[in-house]
Structure 1
């Protein structure tokens, strides 16, 4: 049974009603429910009596070290076989991480751990890594976004990647790792024991220099399937380095996010070469880069080639005008694989939108979703879009 009360503000009466029932649930989600430190004492007693709990999620900034500590210690003494633990945004700090090593050693069934949005800092992350290294669990997902980590934490985090061959997802977004942190992580990512599939490094202060190391990872690790470096100032040189790795036959990456990376049309020939030769890549997120019509035309030329496999293309806020829509309209008729296209917040008008509509009306167009947020057109174009949706029920237009 599941107790899923996310975003429901609980009253004292409702809490008292739920407490006796909690040992019966295998899933408990109490995110943003007004949980207090005092209630954590009640919850800890319920958890100690639970034999079936598999998932616990308690996002609540008011818990702090004291409340989160009560919950963690109760799990240490609980007979349950918990697999998923999320204490995201619980007010946990480095000082509160002192309990983590002992707790983690007592959770052999743990598969997913989310401590994102807590000010753990490098000291707290060091304690976490210490516990994970000694823990008997076969951890698969570790989320540590917005935790105040710096490059000083990366060697310890790398030790987890190298030691836990079960680890498949590592989320480190919004931490000031910098190029030095990427360099410290790289040996672990390249380790033969690493089986990482998903790596999130958005807004981590990575530059083109850090892309040299990531290029090595893309070339060497066939296991890696998803990479996000969104919100990093990579520039065209960084994009070129990433594309060198993506062009390697051994690279099996399926999803790449380079949103808001300071890219221009100069990066598009490199991505175009990837799209022509790489048969694994299925999703490319390039929004919020100044690619312009020239850059988009180069991408479309490559995607129009036989054998391309990209299914999802994000080009929101890329300075695409009506002129660029001509290339996109032609692409819609020539690409057998493209299923989703996002063109939100681009300076196009009726001429561009109507070119897209004309292609979308054709039976050979396989697109299933077109996103057009924050684009302004007249009533005439609006009527054409509405008629298109009615004539093609499998096509979803979001605007």
Structure 2
């Protein structure tokens, strides 16, 4: 106990702390008087023990500097207790409340309690705390006293609204020390963006500005770019991913870049409509006399051939680049040749190169191989989806014998590898000693070449953590070799053998090997591998003894009543850390649902559960939904596609949705609305769906009355970006009102799908940015609608 008095740091992470344990821990903490750091990240089941722990911290009120309560499911009453504790913490420097979205009014007490920390608090993380306008106003008043604050994280708080103005005005007091501002996905509109630009001029120390996912800044974004000139001596990182940059905004960004003399990281991912502004941005880097630029993320920027040529020429003057992501730019044609030739200029600094789905040809492979021979620091190489490189792939693989010593990540998914290429790859494995991630998924023509690779892997790559062999046409002999590789690769954490259904008894050897890998495996994908009844015992043991398993996918395996009982019992023993469970198309029935409901109560870390295509459950759904409610899990994704949900069997679904205010993905596709209390479901989504991003209602028999109610729901889904309403009996007036609701409230939609109905639709719709059109036409019962900011398929 005397040694416990001198304890300075406690870290208990990952939902391992339950109520009784928390109460006992609180008793010990009362003996501590020198605690400096407490990290309880992810412990969502402390309940009353949380309050006891807070009371026990009074002994360390003069020493505590870092309090991290990320994703602890803090409720309003606990937030009030936390506020009382914070009043006595005299020298706190870090307060992290990320992901505590249920604090509600309780956060007001917290804000009141940290007023006295003005000269000490340096980091304040309020990401996804569901702050409202009033709380934003209150936070703004507090920030005026935070003279030493250097990091403020307000990510994923989309309801700040007019209160954000008070936060911005407070920066006049604390901006001199702020180095990091995270404002991604806060629904930043034009007016507030302009206000932000006005205060940015006073940020003399700003290094990172994150505006990701704010698509409606319009002219306010131009104002922000103009203000960046004033932080040119300090700004290093600018994140503009998914900001819908138009050509004019891109030109303004280009002008500002000329004044950013320490600029290192630029993220333009998913900005597809920059046009000539894209060229201007990188020509601006040519005129900046510095060697700072290190990271360009240009994934999904719709780079044309002309833009690629211009970009390639600009790269020749950027000799310090370390990370380059050009994935999903497959229209570059000969422009890619110019880019690959230019990479040679900074190849000796290059650590990461991603060219996923770039439609590379054989001659591209030859050019890239010459470049890679100079890339001695390369750690990541992503060539996924480039299946036409032929002999160029041979040369790339050979080049790794020169530059592969540092390589940690190699993605060759869907590269159409043949036996000859596998031989070359296995011969060069001896140079890949640092490899920890290896993806061969979708290469189904390797034949015996896979055996050679697996043997070379376990001889040379003992640090491997991730192995993906999905859809590789693995037979029984190859499965035996894989089991030997798993046995020898003692650091392996992720194994994906999805869609290999011909392994037969080789599966038994794989399961036996997994029994002895329980200390390392965290991610296991066994989807569609045709598990047979005689393999069940070894399968159960493999699951039961993997105590650190976080993700399990057994979809597509037919589990009868007795078989599923064994699997679920195994999860009861080992599933405490399980986050993701996929049971799609497993032929579950009411008996299976009852067994699973008993198991779910012990899966306290679960965030994602997929039940798609289990039609034989009738009344068991209520038990499953009740279990999910009672387990108090942080549910983020729920998929119930084609599950034949009915009123009697799904009474508790609305209740579950009300308890799942952090839900981001909801899939109800192909369930009849009239059979499942859809009125109550929409009410629940309307009440608790503030984080919902994806809603799939395809084929749900959505009628006129329900469409009216859905329109009111859409208005309150502030983060909704994908909505699927295909194959519903909607009429023209329904569509008009849905489109108008999206026009007024959800201009940042990425995907709207409305296929398969026989009516005319509005010819032209306008987005809230009046300069852009949303056009639609009627053709064979399918509507296609596009706009400049995003591709929208209807």
Structure 2-normalised TM-score? 0.44
For residues 182-193 of structure 1, what are the structure 2 equivalents within 5 Å? Answer: 182-191=164-173
Q: Describe the SS at the equivalent of 2:324.
A: strand
1:261 Cα deviation (Å)? 1.3
Distance 1:358 1:136 in 2: 53
1:36 Cα deviation (Å)? 0.8
1:55 Cα deviation (Å)? 1.9
CA contact (8 A) 1:154 1:177 kept: no
60 and 282 in structure 1: CA distance in 2 versus 1, 3 angstrom threshold: closer
84 and 379 in structure 1: CA distance in 2 versus 1, 3 angstrom threshold: farther
| Residues 1:141 and 2:130 aligned together | no
Deviations 1:143-171 (A, max 9, x none): 01111101211222122221121211111
| Residues 1:316 and 2:299 aligned together | yes
CA contact (8 A) 1:37 1:62 kept: no
Ranges of 4+ aligned residues in structure 1 off by more than 6 Å:
19-22
Q: Which has the larger radius of gyration?
A: 2
CA contact (8 A) 2:65 2:92 kept: yes
Distance 2:345 2:59 in 1: 63
137 and 91 in structure 1: CA distance in 2 versus 1, 3 angstrom threshold: farther
CA contact (8 A) 2:190 2:217 kept: yes
Aligned to 2:282: 300
Which shows bigger deviation, 218-227 or 379-388? 379-388
Distance 1:178 1:346 in 2: 35
Distance 1:97 1:363 in 2: 51
Aligned to 2:57: 75
Distance 1:52 1:312 in 2: 41
1:129 Cα deviation (Å)? 0.9
CA contact (8 A) 2:95 2:124 kept: yes
Residue among 197, 202, 212 paired with 1:215: 197
Distance 1:228 1:201 in 2: 6
Distance 2:113 2:331 in 1: 53
255 and 111 in structure 1: CA distance in 2 versus 1, 3 angstrom threshold: same
323 and 172 in structure 1: CA distance in 2 versus 1, 3 angstrom threshold: same
Aligned to 1:123: 105
Distance 1:51 1:387 in 2: 61
| Residues 1:344 and 2:327 aligned together | yes
Residue among 45, 52, 56 paired with 2:38: 56
97 and 121 in structure 1: CA distance in 2 versus 1, 3 angstrom threshold: closer
CA contact (8 A) 2:312 2:342 kept: yes
Aligned to 2:343: 360
1:384 Cα deviation (Å)? 4.5
1:220 Cα deviation (Å)? 2.3
CA contact (8 A) 2:18 2:43 kept: no
Aligned to 1:203: 185
| Residues 1:97 and 2:71 aligned together | no
Q: Describe the SS at the equivalent of 1:154.
A: helix
CA contact (8 A) 2:147 2:174 kept: no
Distance 1:60 1:375 in 2: 38
1:111 Cα deviation (Å)? 1.1
| Residues 1:30 and 2:30 aligned together | no
Q: Describe the SS at the equivalent of 2:276.
A: helix
Aligned to 2:155: 173
1:240 Cα deviation (Å)? 0.7
25 and 235 in structure 1: CA distance in 2 versus 1, 3 angstrom threshold: same
Distance 1:89 1:210 in 2: 28
Residue among 96, 102, 114 paired with 1:114: 96
CA contact (8 A) 2:189 2:216 kept: yes
Aligned to 2:353: 370
25 and 374 in structure 1: CA distance in 2 versus 1, 3 angstrom threshold: farther
Aligned to 2:754: none
Which shows bigger deviation, 356-365 or 311-320? 356-365
337 and 389 in structure 1: CA distance in 2 versus 1, 3 angstrom threshold: closer
Distance 1:348 1:157 in 2: 47
Q: Describe the SS at the equivalent of 2:144.
A: helix
CA RMSD of aligned residues (A): 2.9
CA contact (8 A) 1:227 1:256 kept: yes
Matched residue pairs, number? Answer: 381
Q: Describe the SS at the equivalent of 1:370.
A: strand
Q: Describe the SS at the equivalent of 2:209.
A: strand
Q: Describe the SS at the equivalent of 1:334.
A: coil
Which shows bigger deviation, 147-156 or 119-128? 119-128
CA contact (8 A) 1:105 1:135 kept: no
Structure 1-normalised TM-score? 0.85
319 and 59 in structure 1: CA distance in 2 versus 1, 3 angstrom threshold: same
CA contact (8 A) 1:178 1:207 kept: no
Aligned to 1:6: none
34 and 356 in structure 1: CA distance in 2 versus 1, 3 angstrom threshold: same
1:115 Cα deviation (Å)? 0.7
135 and 361 in structure 1: CA distance in 2 versus 1, 3 angstrom threshold: closer
71 and 377 in structure 1: CA distance in 2 versus 1, 3 angstrom threshold: farther
Aligned to 2:627: none
Distance 2:146 2:339 in 1: 48
CA contact (8 A) 1:350 1:381 kept: no
193 and 396 in structure 1: CA distance in 2 versus 1, 3 angstrom threshold: closer
Aligned to 1:247: 229
Distance 2:371 2:161 in 1: 48
CA contact (8 A) 1:273 1:302 kept: yes
1:64 Cα deviation (Å)? 5.2
| Residues 1:271 and 2:253 aligned together | yes
176 and 192 in structure 1: CA distance in 2 versus 1, 3 angstrom threshold: closer
CA contact (8 A) 1:260 1:288 kept: yes
Deviations 1:151-206 (A, max 9, x none): 21122212222112121111111112445132121220122676322221111111
1:266 Cα deviation (Å)? 2.7
358 and 194 in structure 1: CA distance in 2 versus 1, 3 angstrom threshold: closer
265 and 396 in structure 1: CA distance in 2 versus 1, 3 angstrom threshold: farther
Deviations 1:323-348 (A, max 9, x none): 32212221221224544332223224
* Unaligned segments of structure 1, at least 5 residues: 1-18
Distance 1:117 1:233 in 2: 23
